Amino acid sequence: MPEATARQGGHITLLFTVESEQRLPRDQGSCGAGFTVHHGVEAAGTLTVVHQQPSPQSAGVEPDQRITDPVAQRADITVTDRHGFAINDDRIYRSFIESCRFATLLRPHEHLTLQVRLDCPPSQGFGMSAAGLMALGGLLLKLTGRGSRRQYLKIAHQVERQHSGGLGDVLGASVGGVELRTHPGAPGWPGQVESFGAETPVLLVWESTQQRHTSSYIDDAAWKSAISKAGHDCMKRLTQIPWDAKAWPRLIEESATFAQASGMMDEDGRSSLLATVREAMKKTDLEGLAVPCLCMLGTSVAVLPVDLDRTPQEEQLEQLGALCLEQGLSMLLTRLVPIHSNE
């Protein structure tokens, strides 16, 4: 009974476009920019081979229905949040497993017992659905030895799109670091992305009473138009400069421009959250050193360094986090993850 564990960090988008008109899910996605953090999703599981008995047949008698394929084993899935409470929605994981069976990466007679644990809340712009699918793909690769990391990434991207989830989270998280997604789609092809590494702690702050699924924006014609126009304008400027650590201040600047131009900043929940975090920062020594940036598409912010050459200390961010907790907000201290290959 093989058992294994796999982790995948969450992905945060700072600006993006909506490219969802393409017929095939693999071609859909977004251009944009963001980064991957350490906290995300852990998937642990075991794989058991179930020996199925052939259907009994009487000599000389044809059965009513000839069985040609074994019945696929239904996975046992448990999903919990960061507090250990059950999340009663495992649909994306079952879709992923079904897609893996279709691709013969998982056999019908193999039974999977899966435990999924989220470090961050869903529907807050932290890329939890993408991280969960990518962690599950990594787990199946360890358990079966079949396929490649890129195959599982492509399946994760397609399942995300089938469930109207994140547009570019899988592509961005597939390379880690601070990424620029220059062509929409699944990792490898047609999706294109470049990334650079950065070492810095990041404070995530969110309003836990307000959650909105990605589909509530990208399936709305007015939001889709406003987001895409703002995103394309920002991308035109970002693609004109070398994508390395020197581009960080420009990314922070374009993030604020996108939030304003897309209309995201105008929503009451986000504007109130930003105001609360900015007010709390005045009570710390972080002003001029860090800045809160909206996470798309949650009611959440990531407190990021203004300059990568002068990053805040964890103790400073913890102090800010404590002040945010006093205001009834939720927070998590994490870090950017290094870049890696999506092969």
What CATH number does the domain containing 228 carry? 3.30.70.890
Together in a domain, 166 and 212: no
64 occurs within a structural domain = no
Amino acid at residue number 179:
E
Residue in 8, 12, 15, 3 with CA at minimum distance from that of residue 257:
15
Q: Tens place of pLDDT for every residue, the chain, 343 residues?
A: 789 999 999 999 999 999 988 999 999 999 999 999 999 999 999 999 998 665 555 444 454 443 345 667 899 999 999 999 999 999 999 999 999 999 999 999 999 999 999 999 999 999 999 999 999 999 999 999 999 999 999 999 999 999 988 899 999 999 999 999 999 999 999 999 999 999 999 999 999 987 666 677 777 889 999 999 999 999 999 999 999 999 999 999 999 999 999 999 988 899 999 999 999 999 999 999 999 999 998 899 999 999 999 999 999 999 999 999 999 999 999 999 999 877 6
Together in a domain, 178 and 202: no
Task: Look up residue 246 and give its two tokens.
Answer: 């020197």
162 occurs within a structural domain = yes
Together in a domain, 8 and 99: yes
Together in a domain, 140 and 253: no
Together in a domain, 139 and 239: no
Domain limits for position 288: 198-335
Amino acid at residue number 115:
Q
Together in a domain, 292 and 181: no
Together in a domain, 116 and 226: no
| CATH for 116 | 3.30.230.10
163 occurs within a structural domain = yes
Together in a domain, 265 and 185: no
In this prediction, residue 156 carries a pLDDT of: 98
12 occurs within a structural domain = yes
In this prediction, residue 212 carries a pLDDT of: 66
**The last residue of a domain, from among 195, 229, 257:** 195
Mention every residue, 6+ apart, whose C-beta is less than 8 A from residue 321: 203, 205, 331, 332, 333
95 occurs within a structural domain = yes
C-alpha to C-alpha distances, 78 to 37, 102, 160, 234, nearest whole angstrom: 24, 22, 19, 40
Total domains in the chain come to: 2
Are 94 and 77 contacting, i.e. CB atoms less than 8 angstroms apart? yes
Task: Look up residue 214 and give its two tokens.
Answer: 């990605």
Together in a domain, 130 and 169: yes
**The last residue of a domain, from among 179, 195, 211:** 195
343 occurs within a structural domain = no
285 occurs within a structural domain = yes
131 occurs within a structural domain = yes
Together in a domain, 15 and 147: yes
Together in a domain, 155 and 105: yes
Residue 290 three-state SS: strand
**The last residue of a domain, from among 195, 230, 255:** 195
Together in a domain, 163 and 278: no
